[in-house]
Structure 1
Amino acid sequence: MIKKTALTVAALASVFSLSTLTGQARAADFEDYARVTNVSPQVEQINVPRQDCRTEYENTTRYPTREPERSAGGAIIGGIAGGLLGSQVGGGNGKIAAAAVGALTGAIVGDRVDNNNNGNNYNNQAVTESRPVRICRNIDNWETRTTGYAVTYEYHNRSYTSIMPYDPGSRLKLHVSLTPRP
């Protein structure tokens, strides 16, 4: 029984010493406040180009054209007239051949006479048109951006400087961790 009690006491003593060591390690970490003595914004210039666009008007001159309208009337009348004239020449089968050649020749001549001036009657005066043209160009656009703050603070009569992402104000909350030197 004495052995068992001595063993229990030894176990309790080791647990107590471990908890004491753990408590000491945690007691060295704490939060405190420091007085801020200076805050300087850290800035940089960044080029963010932008587009500058405007509309200008471009004048163009053109000559209107149109597709000539063709008619078949001249070819029909010329073919009939040529066929009649051709049938008056020769005799027998030659009369038929002459009528066919006359009809073909008359159709070609009638078509050219009828459709020769279709494109020339149109008024070919120049027409000036104005159309919008969009012109864009890139322009440098420099912006000043704050990238952080150089914060100088005092803690236990010593001065420290750190770069921070925000301005902490007049007091800075610190996490203090103490460790013994070997």
Structure 2
Amino acid sequence: MTISFNTLSKMASVVTLGIALPVAHAADFDDFARVVSVTPQIEQVNVPRQECRTEYETSQRQVPQRQAERSNGGAIIGGIAGGLLGSQVGGGNGRIAAAAAGALTGAIVGDRVDNNDNNNNYNNSQPVYESRPVRQCRNIDHWESRTNGYAVTYEYQNRTYTSVMPYDPGSRLRLHVSLTPRP
């Protein structure tokens, strides 16, 4: 190989002027490697979740019993009936006293019968049972398997390499090859 003096002087002038020409490196290129195996890298991750259910809670409270309205009809009818019966007994002023006593007794008996002894229930109370929903929640562990990468074993130029990659490359792996001389 013969280099002419002109070519040599042009190269020298370019170097001395400090002009840098783009140089293509023949040592940088893309190539493909054969994929030997791909192994997913799986990790177990705990993703807790909340589980809820509704239970019913029963409680008791006291409710005053409803007070019945009292009626005067029984006392009036009882008083009239007692007065009539009492007027049938005795004579003179005794008849008037017997009628008055019969009217009073008849009024008391008639009131008791008509109102069915409601006086005894005024202060009583009845227990009432109520059921209300109560939501119960708790956190439970939930384990999931997640793939966080792939261990790819590939062969290039009769040598075997392994790299962890974020995806499965398939049967071929594209490589960027860069050759640099060692000093």
TM-score (norm 1): 0.59
RMSD: 2.9
- Specify which structure has the higher proportion of helix: 1
C-alpha distance 59-122 of structure 1, shift in aligned 2 (>3 A): same
Q: Secondary structure at the match of 1:168?
A: coil
Q: 2: distance between equivalents of 1:179 and 1:18?
A: 20
Q: 1: distance between equivalents of 2:169 and 2:160?
A: 16
Structure number with greater Rg is 2
Q: 1: distance between equivalents of 2:174 and 2:160?
A: 15
Match of 2:162 in 1: 161
- What does the per-residue CA deviation read over 1:48-89, in whole Å, with 9 as the maximum and x for residues that have no partner? 0000000000000000259xxxxxxxxxxxxxxxxxxxxxxx
How is 1:31-180 mapped onto 2 (pairs within 5 angstroms)? Answer: 31-64=30-63, 121=122, 123-180=124-181
Letter in 2 for 1:50: R
Q: How many residues align?
A: 121
Letter in 1 for 2:177: V
Moved over 6 A (4+): none
Q: 1: distance between equivalents of 2:10 and 2:62?
A: 112
Q: 1: distance between equivalents of 2:158 and 2:13?
A: 41
Q: 2: distance between equivalents of 1:13 and 1:40?
A: 55
Unaligned stretches of 5+ residues in structure 2: 66-120
